């Protein structure tokens, strides 16, 4: 069975050493007929990790890699997250005198 991977360009050599192959037509890395996907966990799509966890049990994979959450566009927010109202119209990374009191850092 073919398993597609989400390998960043900077990590392509590492994936290749582990046995991943490049599909030039689809422009992605993959492994075929791998009995154990644990060396490739960090590059698996998030949906495949969920399927593996459900079929193998939670002990097989404790938590999905953070990188896969970021590449799929899923926003992870903790239960203690509180969104504060905007005080001014400046950009979030610019802190003006008006919003300086509510900024996390200056």
Cα separation of 16 and 23, whole Å?
A: 12
* Residue 106: half-sphere exposure toward Cβ, Cα within 13 Å: 7
* % pLDDT > 70, the chain: 67
For residue 85, what pLDDT is reported?
Answer: 75
What pLDDT is attached to residue 18?
A: 92
Which carries the bigger pLDDT value, residue 3 or residue 65?
3
Rounded CA gap, 6 and 48, in Å? 11
Single pTM value for the model: 0.47
Residue 92 has pLDDT above 80, yes or no: no
More confident residue, 71 or 82: 82
């Amino acid at each position: 069975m073919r398993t597609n991977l989400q390998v960043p360009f900077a990590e392509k050599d590492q994936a290749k050493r582990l046995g991943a192959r490049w599909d030039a037509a689809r422009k992605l890395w993959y492994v075929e007929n791998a009995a154990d996907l644990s060396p490739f966990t960090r590059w698996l799509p998030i949906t495949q990790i969920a399927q593996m966890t459900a079929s193998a049990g939670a002990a097989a994979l404790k938590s999905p890699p953070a990188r896969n959450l970021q590449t799929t566009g899923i926003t992870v927010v903790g239960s203690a997250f509180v969104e504060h109202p905007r005080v001014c119209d400046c950009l979030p990374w610019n802190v003006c005198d008006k919003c300086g009191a509510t900024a996390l850092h200056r």
